[in-house]
């Protein structure tokens, strides 16, 4: 079984990794922890890019951040005896997760849900929703427990 685990820098990703740690996976399961650096699109600046910053330097720093995220994710799994590969991709996370799953012939994609709805989801996107709707393999969406 091949499992692709999508992570970002949110608490939801930590919850997802903790969930994966607790599952008893078949012996031959191959895990890959993936994070995506989203590139600015065409002439439109990315709303999260700091003003006045060299885009190349900004992307290098973002890539380092995502490399750290996937490394920590792999370590979290390794602490539970689960070996995982890591990969940092570039592009829209909704599409890169689907493309990587197809390329690797993944059996399962595991992602966290930010729990957004309404206008917030429309503005910020819904990676989990998009992956569920478009992936050619099964998708497991891990939700955080509500606070309080």
Q: What is the CATH number of the domain that holds 49?
A: 3.40.50.620
* Residue 132 resides in a domain: yes
* Residue 115 resides in a domain: yes
* Residue 22 resides in a domain: yes
Confidence of residue 6 (pLDDT cuts 50, 70, 90): very high
Query: How many separate domains does the chain show?
Result: 1
Residue range 113-124: mean pLDDT, rounded:
52
Please give the model's pTM, rounded to 2 decimal places.
0.83
Confidence of residue 107 (pLDDT cuts 50, 70, 90): very high
Per the rule left: phi > 0, alpha: psi between -120 and 50, beta: everything else, 123 is alpha
Return all residues near 114 (Cβ < 8 A) that are at least 6 apart: 10, 12, 124, 126, 128
SS3 124: helix
* Residue 15 resides in a domain: yes
* Residue 37 resides in a domain: yes
Q: Which residues of 52-91 are buried (b: 16+ CB within 10 A; e: fewer)?
A: eeeeeebbeebeeebeebbebbbebbeeeebebebbbbee
* Residue 148 resides in a domain: no
Confidence of residue 50 (pLDDT cuts 50, 70, 90): low
Mean pLDDT of the chain: 85
- Residue ranges making up the domain that contains 36: 2-143
* Residue 106 resides in a domain: yes
């Amino acid at each position: 079984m091949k499992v692709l685990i999508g992570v970002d820098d949110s608490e939801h990703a930590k919850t997802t990794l903790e969930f994966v740690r607790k599952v008893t996976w078949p012996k031959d399961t191959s895990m890959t922890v993936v994070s995506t650096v989203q590139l600015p699109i065409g002439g439109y600046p990315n709303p999260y890019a700091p003003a006045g910053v060299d885009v190349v330097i900004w992307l290098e720093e973002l890539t380092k951040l995502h490399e750290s995220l996937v490394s920590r994710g792999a370590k979290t799994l390794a602490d539970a005896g689960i070996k995982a590969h890591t990969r940092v991709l570039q592009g829209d996370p909704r599409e890169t997760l689907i493309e990587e799953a197809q390329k690797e012939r993944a059996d399962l994609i595991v992602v966290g849900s930010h729990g957004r709805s309404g206008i917030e989801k429309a503005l910020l996107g819904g990676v989990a929703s998009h992956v569920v709707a478009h992936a050619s393999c099964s998708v497991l969406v891990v939700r955080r427990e509500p606070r309080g």
